[in-house]
Amino acid sequence: GQNIDQPTEMTATEGAIVQINCTYQTSGFNGLFWYQQHAGEAPTFLSYNVLDGLEEKGRFSSFLSRSKGYSYLLLKELQMKDSASYLCAVRWSWGKLQFGAGTQVVVTP
């Protein structure tokens, strides 16, 4: 199968910036999603990238480089409520959507 890699856990202070990286194999790539999941709750959609570049939505931004097989989710002005797991998911050209294991972000006061 295709590997999707993201760090297991990241810790940052309230008000700071955190960048969550996601790497994947480039062959067959057809779009990348970021979801946020609070513990024991439903994942919720954050962003979708299919073209290279940066997509900004308020405090959250997502970047994609298709040639490098690389995306990141940037969380600015961190708030305590941002403590959650962030899931990277890649859609492959044959239609399958594959999730990474998720990155647990811990925001400390």
Partner 1 sequence: DGGITQSPKYLFRKEGQNVTLSCEQNLNHDAMYWYRQDPGQGLRLIYYSQIVNDFQKGDIAEGYSVSREKKESFPLTVTSAQKNPTAFYLCASSNGDSSGANVLTFGAGSRLTVL
Query: Is residue 31 within the footprint of partner 1 (CB under 8 A)?
Result: yes
Q: Which residues lie closer than 8 Å to 58 by C-beta, 6 or more apart? A: none
CA nearest to 103, candidates 5, 33, 14, 17: 5
Closest separation in Å from C-beta 4 to partner 1: 7
Closest separation in Å from C-beta 60 to partner 1: 15
User: Within 10 A of 84 (CB to CB), how many other CB atoms are there?
Assistant: 21
Query: Which residues make up the interface to partner 1 (CB under 8 A)?
Result: 4, 8, 31, 33, 35, 40-45, 48, 50, 87, 89, 91, 95-102
